[in-house]
Structure 1
Amino acid sequence: MARGLLGALGYLDTSDTDPGLMATNNRQGLLSAAANFANLFRLHARHAPGLYFFGAQVNRNWGDSVSAISASFSGVGLTPGRAFEACIGEGIEYHSEWQQPHGTMNRTTVDGVGHWQDVRLAEHLDDFRVQSGFGESDRWVPVRRLDDGRQGYLPETLFIRSANRSAWVTSCGCAAGITHEAALTSALLEAIERDAAAGWWRSRRGGRLIGLEALAGAGVLDLLARIRQEKLGRCTQFLDISGEFPAPVIAALSFDADGRGLAVGLACRLDAGNALRAALLEMCQMELALDLAAMKRAEQGDERLDEVDRLQAERAETPGAIDTDLVSHLSSGVLMHKNDEKDLNFVSLVGEMLKKQYRIYAADLTTPMFDIPVAKVFVPGLQPFPSPFQSRRLRSLIDQAGPSGRADLM
């Protein structure tokens, strides 16, 4: 049975290049983690027959978590192995965000926010306390500031989820990776992605429509054809929703023949081509989510849908094709300014953000249960998304461009 699973994931394919020791160890860790999931299954998307999807279900009472509310995850990839790895990685991230990191201290035994000498950090924490109604956190987790390596502590409300904090502490800026640096990179890119997405979705600041030439040059049109396999029924568009940071942020949108059933995929990567392709795959994942929500709605009725499925069902009625505020103008330059960033990497991205006075605080959320690196970053001033919290940065943008009035995207 185990050999059958390895074969189905392509791990026994002799044509596959040697993944190397690090990748092999990562695969072993993910396979071990999968054994702790209550259910693991394949999914099929009617509009994306060229992709592979895995789904999984778990209970939240892993490790020392006390709530038994279940959660589900999915992963998408061009191969079964990639889809499996993405799905299990999502589950590991989720587990890690409910655990107390090693070295967590009581508030009375650590230096306060003044230790960091960061005005934007102090402002963000003040705003968070006022808007959330939470008092000072009793537990503070160990963190490291990435631009100077300084170590200290920050309130766990910035990093750790709990039932009583609900939507105020989200998974935004959390990622698992094959190495700790890979996890940090993915976490930071997600934080940038969600900040850009919040500004685009919650205000009337539209994205920039990307031309076909740029899509063709990045191989996106070929990839889309491979995914759709001549399957009709969806219209796909790509927008550049990047902010002022050099890492490009892409929104891939699709809707049905009636202009409804909006599905949105978001991605931020170190280069535009990878961001475009990643956004496309996530968009297809959201198309599948719409179909699954519609199936549950037909079988169970609206009253039995959970919050996630309810939002998906509402999104099926969203007239995305006529929401012209989603697009501000055409972009002939098409990410040229992003592609001109030579050799952008994690270190240079941290440096570019520091130039704009954005400092990054990182917590190691790797748990003993899953020996897979997990990192979560907090960037004071950036807008988490989705979140009821509203940063000064987002408020300023909404004041300038006007509120969108759209329902939550996630």
Structure 2
Amino acid sequence: MLFRPILKENYQAYAVYGEGHVLLSDAESFALEGHILSQLLPLLNGENSRDDIVALLSAIASAEEVYAALDYLTQAGHLREADPDATADEALFWSSLGINSQAARAQLAQCPVTVLAPNAQEQATALAWAQSAGLSIDQENGRIKLVIVEDYLDENLRALNAELTASGDPWLLVRPWGLTPLVGPLFIPGTTGCWECLETRLLENRDVEIMLAGRMAIKGAPPRPVVQSDAFYAQALATATTQLMRYIVAGANPEVTGVINQLMPLTLERKQHSLLHRPQCACCGDPQKGLIGGAPKDFEVRQSAQGVENGERTMTAAETYARYAAHVSPLTGVIKDLTPSPYNGVTPLRTYSAGNNLAVKPAGLWGLKQNLRSVSSGKGRTDTQARTSALCEALERYSGKFRGEEIRIPASLGMLGDSALHPNELMLYSDQQYADREAWNARGSQFQIVPENQTHDEIVEWTPVWSITQKRMKYLPTSMLFYSYPAPDNRFTSWADSNGAAAGSSYEDACLQGLMELVERDSVAIWWYNRLAMPEVDLTGLDDAFVAENRAFYAQHKREFHVLDITTDLGIPSFVAINRRTGGPTEDIVMGFGAHLDARVGIMRAITEMNQFMPAVLSVGVDGRTHYAFDDPDSLNWWQTATYDNQPYLVPEGPARKLADYAPLPDGDITHTLRTAIQRVEEAGHEVLVIDQTRADIGLPVVRVFAPGLRHFWARYAPGRLYDVPVKMGRLDAPLREDQLNPIAMFL
């Protein structure tokens, strides 16, 4: 309730004879009707109290009517409390925020600010701005710090951050220089992340600088040029002091608390970038929370969310995106951006790319160029599914990157005994491949790489994983588990790939997706390298609008597609979707894979993955030749030379399988489905292991699942399922020799 109400300075009242008044501001207009309001307005001079106004209008209205009119104008935001000590600008500023200017002035006096800047001249400029804005200044004992820097990675901020984190004092960071000045974040110890949390994210998004720092042998990122525009500088300081005052007086300000505001004066834009607290931060958190290892974790009952179209999930795609979208930012995110493909939205090819693929960091200019072109990608039946898929794949890759937070034990195979797995029990290279490794590696393929064979007595670092099958801890080389692991002495005996790595809306969901990927790639390897003729799936039984949409799209582009059933002895439905161009100089054959206990889900995953690769071959010139979007040599060779005639295993053979031929999904929740899948793999004689790679600062459940003996679809030719399963299933009379396998190594 206002004691001495006055009309706010941004309003001018105009009488409309016989009808009332109109209030005009620089952006709004309001009509005030009624005799009481017309008589009331001239009395709102800041000298009359509410009771004075009631008394002055007692001849024409009751007290209740006058109080009601005053309350109406107050609630409409037209009045403020009179403050004889406030300037018009000051009163207008605080009243527009709904804050009493007298209370604001008192609060500012009780919370002085210390201004810090790179040099005396900049400090004097910033002090002048702060004082003119109305901030109280105390350069010795300010309760809040306003910190002006040329670069948010200024190493001098480390000691300041430690000091203020310990004292609990908030501080606002500002970079007023450049074409896009930065204001914020406001660090509040115990509430937001600290500067070291910010430093981690900033460094991860400065690929070019990190590459240069490595070549220049310097610590941290090399300094960026300082560009000053007086107008932009003034805008940044005005914004900073204004937002700091709002925080001091209101006690909160979400516009800057844990948020960087990137000002873009040239385009009148503002972009916000979230600073997320890293629970494992050495300064404001507990490094123990970041440890990654194979501690046992029980499966919990997880029900599928409603509206999930592409497999069991505990959250919808929209819910998952909303939860983790704060990780998308070119400044503070682990994903720079999410970008739809050129064909997204106008075709069934609903695909997104997600900034840089952070699985590998570049060491030089060539590596940097490769990394800048490398992306995580996502696909789906809907735009939301595709965008969320790209988001989760990028977070999955980030979570699987070596960061020094992993539990590691230096030991040899002999020292660990049967608790350790030799890396080739999972990689499955043949003796011949090890013997020919130099020739394999000389091919320059990014996927067909043969490492050195790890010896029994060789000391390497091991990380614990959990054996779901044996219910005990086991060990795998750390280099197999995490991307970009720095191998000592450049000794290369194993390397991490993404097979079995998966993100999910829960731990159980992630485990299911990871295991399904192992099954999918095992099925692909057995089909591909043995060049098995497999039956087609009758897609008419799906009665699905998405399938019809795809058929029409491919027909429009003079392409034909089908889906093969490549299910193995595991009994988990597995599929490959294949399409080719017809009538052109090249067939540009594209494939996608999928596996799931629900055959419909497996089929849809194969189709959407096939769609994911299609933008690479859709551009055709007037001469009929394809303009390929990728320059990977293996992919180009396949597109330009492979045909259904010279690769007949791509063509269906035998009676088509109908959807009704597949067993229905087991009744129950996601965990029941997961246990069923694990049982199928174990019954085939394979152990199932898992490591939880969920990062404390990301939160998205990420795992890596292993099943020694299941095959990767890359060229790995050790004895086992690759040779035995086709005979077991009656697809071949006798196992092939290694030199009889498909000479084209899988390149996806």
Is the Cα–Cα contact under 8 Å of residues 589 and 639 in structure 2 kept in the other structure?
yes
Residue 343 (structure 2) aligned to one of 38, 45, 50: 45
Q: Is the 8 A contact 1:267 1:279 kept in 2?
A: yes
Matching residue's letter, 2:688: I
- 3-state DSSP of counterpart to 1:193: helix
2:600 paired residue number: 273
- Residues 1:365 and 1:342: Cα distance change in structure 2 (over 3 Å): closer
Task: State the 1:367 CA deviation.
Answer: 2.0
Query: Residue 345 of structure 1 aligns to a residue in which SS?
Result: helix
How far the C-alpha of 1:98 sits from its partner, in A, is 2.2
Change (3 A) 1:129 1:272: closer
Tell me which residue corresponds to 2:655: 331
Paired position in structure 1 for 2:460: 138
Q: Is the contact between residue 144 and residue 361 of structure 1 (CA under 8 Å) also seen in structure 2?
A: yes
AA at the equivalent of 2:348: G
In structure 2, the residue matched to 1:218 is 542
Q: Which has the higher contact order (CA 8 A, sep 6+)?
A: 1
- Residues 1:38 and 1:330: Cα distance change in structure 2 (over 3 Å): same
TM-score, with structure 1 as normaliser: 0.79
Q: Greater share of helix residues, 1 or 2?
A: 1
Residue among 568, 574, 581 paired with 1:256: 581
Q: Distance in 1 between matches of 2:627 and 2:314?
A: 47
- Equivalent residues of 1:180, 1:375 under 8 A apart: yes
Q: In the alignment, is residue 124 of structure 1 matched against residue 425 of structure 2?
A: yes
For residue 474 of structure 2, what is the aligned residue in structure 1? 152
2:407 is matched with 103
The number of residue pairs the alignment matches comes to: 381
Alpha-carbon distance change, 406 to 336 in structure 1, aligned in 2, over 3 angstroms:
farther
SS at match of 1:277: helix
Residues 139 and 249 of structure 1, relative CA distance in 2, 3 Å threshold: same
Per the alignment, do residues 39 and 400 of structure 1 end up closer, same or farther by CA in structure 2, a change over 3 Å counting? same
Does residue 314 (structure 1) correspond to residue 652 (structure 2)? The answer is no
The aligned amino acid for 1:406 is I
Q: How does 1:23-62 map to 2 (within 5 A)?
A: 26-35=320-329, 36=333, 37-45=335-343, 49-58=347-356, 60=358
Q: Indicate conservation of the 8 Å contact 2:666/2:673, yes or no.
A: no
Separation (CA, whole Å) in 2 of partners of 1:330 and 1:126: 33
Residue matched to 1:169: 496
Give the 3-state SS of the residue equivalent to 1:194 in structure 2: helix
Show the counterpart of 2:560. 235
The match for 1:245 is 570
Equivalent residue, structure 2, for 1:182: 509
| Matching residue of 2:677 | 349
Q: Distance in 2 between matches of 1:25 and 1:110?
A: 48
Structure 1 residues 18 and 123: alpha-carbon distance in aligned structure 2, compared to 1, 3 A threshold? closer
CA distance in 2 between counterparts of 1:246 and 1:366 reads 30
- Per-residue deviation, 1:409: 3.5
CA contact (8 A) 1:246 1:349 kept: no
Which sections of structure 2, spanning at least 5 residues, go unmatched?
Answer: 1-268, 272-305, 435-450, 727-731
Higher radius of gyration, 1 or 2: 2
What corresponds to 1:408 in structure 2?
Answer: 746
Residue deviations 1:308-329 (CA, integer Å, cap 9, x gap)? x323322322434322223463
CA distance in 1, matches of 2:379, 2:685: 35
CA distance in 2, matches of 1:166, 1:291: 39
User: Structure 2 vs 1, CA of residues 371 and 341 (structure 1 numbering), >3 Å: closer, same or farther?
Assistant: closer
1: CA distance between counterparts of 2:354 and 2:493? 22
For residues 81-115 of structure 1, the C-alpha deviation after alignment (integer angstroms, 9 at most, x for no partner) is 21111111121222223225632322269962513
CA distance in 1 between counterparts of 2:697 and 2:582 reads 46
Specify the code of the residue in structure 1 equivalent to 2:478.
Answer: E
CA distance in 2, matches of 1:183, 1:167: 24
Query: Secondary structure of the residue that 2:700 maps to in structure 1?
Result: coil
Structure 2 match to 1:10: none
Q: Is the 8 A contact 2:350 2:379 kept in 1?
A: yes
**One-letter identity of the residue aligned with 1:255:** R
Deviation at 1:25, TM superposition (A): 6.4
Question: How far apart are residue 405 of structure 1 and its match?
Answer: 2.4
Q: How high is the sequence identity, in percent, across the aligned residues?
A: 21
Q: Are 2:480 and 2:494, in contact at CA under 8 Å, matched by a contact in 1? A: no
Structure 1 pair 336–59 and aligned structure 2 pair: CA distance change class (3 A): closer
2:419 to 76, 97, 115: 115
DSSP-derived class of the 1:210 partner: coil
Q: 1:335 to 1:114 in 2, by over 3 A?
A: farther
Question: Which amino acid letter does the alignment assign opposite residue 425 of structure 2?
Answer: H
User: Measured at CA, do residues 83 and 125 of structure 1 come closer, stay the same or move farther in structure 2, by a change above 3 Å?
Assistant: closer
Partner SS, residue 226 of structure 1: helix
Taking structure 2 as the reference length, the TM-score comes to 0.45
Q: Which residue of 1 aligns with 2:535?
A: 208
Corresponding residue number in structure 2 for 1:81: 384
